[in-house]
Amino acid sequence: MDILTNIEDSVMKFSSKRDKLKKKAIGQFFTPKEISQYMSSLIQLNMKKVKILDPGAGNGILACSLLCEILNNDFIEEIHVDLYENDMEVFELLEKSLDQIQKLYKKSRKKLTYHLIMKDFILTNLTRWNDDNFKGMYNIIIANPPYMKLRKNNSEYQGMSNIVFGQPNIYFLFMAMSIKLLEAQGQFVFITPKSYLTGLYFTKFREWLVKEVDIEKFCIFESRKTPFNKEKIVQETIIIKGKKSKFQTELVEITNIDNNLKNHVSKPIFVHNKIIFDKTKNCYIKVPTTREEYNALNFISKWPKTLNTAGFKVSTGKVVDFRNKDNIVNEFEITDLKVPLIWNVNLKNGKFTWPVKYKNKYQIMKLHGENKNTIINSNYLLIKRFTSKEESRRIQIAPYKKEMLNTKLIGIENHINYLYKVNEELSQSELLGLFIIFNSKIVDSYFRVLSSSTQVNANELNFMNFPEVRDIINIGKMGEKYKLLTDEVCDGILLEYF
Ligand SMILES: C[S@@+](CC[C@H](N)C(=O)[O-])C[C@H]1O[C@@H](n2cnc3c(N)ncnc32)[C@H](O)[C@@H]1O
């Protein structure tokens, strides 16, 4: 059995016996051998001496894969590796892994030294994080950082608060700290959840990241379950490869990897950095995963506004059903004190219907003096917040016209977003134009790139690229001549107009 298979086998045995809750609490799941080898193969090894870091090393599979790769490399003569791991139980495996690798090195002409550091990686390096003159100490970082949410005011990691915005997760603090410890031009390869690319809580981290590093490559897994299926992790995962540099590579490579990691699914796509790195408020990193998404991104990146700056806004329905149990009733008669409540079930196949007969979905909300959860009956584009994984479209919508319900106020349940114009009512042409935009496959594909989860968040919609109001009106007018506005027809209208 080869050494890496051996290392992998022992950690899988360890992992299967381990309490799941304990693993979750310390963000511990292990990288399969094939992924470790793939990540190692991304690093250019063209120096004589090299200093490597593996923070959160677990059993050391990542550093060991890289060390195996280096054994076959003609340039490198001297290697030092620092491995941080603060879990005593896995530490024993780490010692054994490095011991086995050292035996191999002893048979070669290369010199390997290593330091196993049983300490908290972040706390140990906080002084360096806060030192503006610190120039870095490693040439290569290879890491699968722990994944877990931290308390908002986690006092231990307060030192890194300059990159925290809202709820921190330890994995991006590991990425940031590792990059801080890299020398200029030093290389990094991380496997992490995808959420940092567009998630709201990662905004400050992204702002920092794009200034510090040159991102050369992203590798995306074709299936959501693939990379850590032995560990039963379903987080969407991504590999990022880059180097520490103030200059961004013009064309960023995006590679799709298949389930067995043996083949690339398709040819890599090379995307211009201006398309990937969005310099607007949320500093999104937009990584298309398919040719369709790439084309959509290219198309929509030319739109000059964001939905907000074009004068529109998306908000989330304010009525939370379980907080209003006593007020939501299964009645159909609208009065001054009983307003229609709009749920997911009222949106189907691009159309709005109310009331609908649906078990446990009550139609009317009773008002008690205060109407803070209701909104004025006006024209809105309704957008579902949640769609199931099986559904082909992420964005599901229905235009709502105020004459559809004879009422002054309406209630919108919390699983629905509604789009409106900030200073005035949406006109019929605007509503139709918005429907065409959001019903197109182009925008659906674009939104998949933009969204950090399977939810359709108001925040992500508000910051998406958007055309000018006059374009929306013109598109609406073009749509008037069609009886049926399928997604293909909507694509056709957008392609013809822009
Ligand atoms: C996601 S696992 C990855 C392990 C290994 N690198 C791999 O790829 O299989 C992250 C590891 O980081 C360790 N860890 C968690 N918090 C840490 C900390 N603050 N300092 C050092 N190690 C930590 C966990 O015990 C766990 O073994």
The torsion angles phi and psi of 123, rounded to 5 degrees, stand at -60, -40
What is the Å distance from ligand 1's center to 255 Cα? Answer: 26
pLDDT one-digit tens code per residue, 404-430: 999 999 999 999 999 999 989 999 999
Distance between CA atoms of 415 and 424, rounded to whole angstroms?
25
What is the Å distance from ligand 1's center to 464 Cα? Answer: 35
Three-state SS at 136 = coil
Nearest to 3, CA basis, from 91, 105, 92, 78: 105
- Regarding the beta carbon of 457 and ligand 1, being less than 6 Å apart is answered no
What's the DSSP call for residue 300? H
Rg for the chain (alpha carbons), in Å?
26
pTM of the shown model: 0.87
Distant-in-sequence, close-in-space partners of 351: CB < 8 Å, separation ≥ 6: 398
- Regarding the beta carbon of 57 and ligand 1, being less than 6 Å apart is answered yes
- Regarding the beta carbon of 65 and ligand 1, being less than 6 Å apart is answered no
Residue having the nearest C-alpha atom to atom 25 of ligand 1? 87
- Regarding the beta carbon of 205 and ligand 1, being less than 6 Å apart is answered no
Calculate the alpha carbon distances from 350 to 381, 432, 439 in Å.
10, 12, 8
Probe residue for ligand 1, chosen from 87, 129, 172 as the CB with the greatest number of ligand atoms within 8 Å: 87
Q: Tell whether the model's pLDDT for residue 221 goes beyond 90.
A: no
Q: What is the 3-state secondary structure (H, E, C) of 412-471?
A: EECCEEEEEECCCCCCHHHHHHHHHHHHCHHHHHHHHHHCCCCECCHHHHHCCEECCHHH
pLDDT one-digit tens code per residue, 260-301: 666 555 678 899 999 899 877 789 999 998 889 999 999 999
What is the Å distance from ligand 1's center to 43 Cα? Answer: 21
Question: Domain 312-497, what architecture?
Answer: Alpha-Beta Complex (3.90)
pLDDT one-digit tens code per residue, 108-157: 999 999 999 999 999 999 999 999 999 999 999 999 999 988 887 777 77
Q: Give the alpha-carbon dihedral of 454, 458, 464, 470, to 10 degrees.
A: 130
pLDDT at 235: 66
Residue having the nearest C-alpha atom to atom 24 of ligand 1? 28
pLDDT one-digit tens code per residue, 245-255: 999 999 999 99
Question: Binning pLDDT at 50, 70 and 90, where does residue 323 land?
Answer: confident
Distant-in-sequence, close-in-space partners of 423: CB < 8 Å, separation ≥ 6: 311
What is the Å distance from ligand 1's center to 454 Cα? Answer: 27
pLDDT one-digit tens code per residue, 326-358: 788 887 788 888 899 999 889 999 999 998 877
CA 31, chain centre distance (Å):
20
Calculate the alpha carbon distances from 257 to 24, 143, 170, 226, 377 in Å.
26, 19, 26, 10, 48
What is the Å distance from ligand 1's center to 24 Cα? Answer: 11
Nearest to 495, CA basis, from 436, 449, 448, 419: 436
Determine contact, residues 68/4, Cβ cutoff 8 Å.
yes
Probe residue for ligand 1, chosen from 9, 26, 65 as the CB with the greatest number of ligand atoms within 8 Å: 26
For CATH 3.90.220, the residue range(s) in the chain are 312-497
* DSSP secondary structure string for all residues of 325-349: TTTEES----BTTEEEEE-GGGEET
For CATH 3.40.50.150, the residue range(s) in the chain are 3-289
- Regarding the beta carbon of 58 and ligand 1, being less than 6 Å apart is answered yes
Mention the CATH class of domain 3-289: alpha beta
Neighbours of 349 (CB within 10 A): 7
What is the Å distance from ligand 1's center to 72 Cα? Answer: 27
Of ligand 1's listed atoms, the one at least distance from the Cα of 120 is 20
pLDDT at 390: 66
Of ligand 1's listed atoms, the one at least distance from the Cα of 11 is 9
- Regarding the beta carbon of 84 and ligand 1, being less than 6 Å apart is answered yes
Residue at 234: amino acid letter: V
Give strand ranges (E) for 61-203.
78-84, 111-117, 138-143, 182-193
- Regarding the beta carbon of 201 and ligand 1, being less than 6 Å apart is answered no
Distance between CA atoms of 129 and 111, rounded to whole angstroms?
30
Residue having the nearest C-alpha atom to atom 9 of ligand 1? 30
- Regarding the beta carbon of 430 and ligand 1, being less than 6 Å apart is answered no
Of ligand 1's listed atoms, the one at least distance from the Cα of 87 is 25
What is the Å distance from ligand 1's center to 45 Cα? Answer: 25
Q: What is the chain's mean pLDDT, rounded?
A: 90
- Regarding the beta carbon of 87 and ligand 1, being less than 6 Å apart is answered yes
Nearest to 61, CA basis, from 22, 85, 28, 32: 32
Q: Which residue has better confidence, 219 or 361?
A: 219
Nearest to 410, CA basis, from 339, 346, 350, 345: 339
- Regarding the beta carbon of 62 and ligand 1, being less than 6 Å apart is answered yes
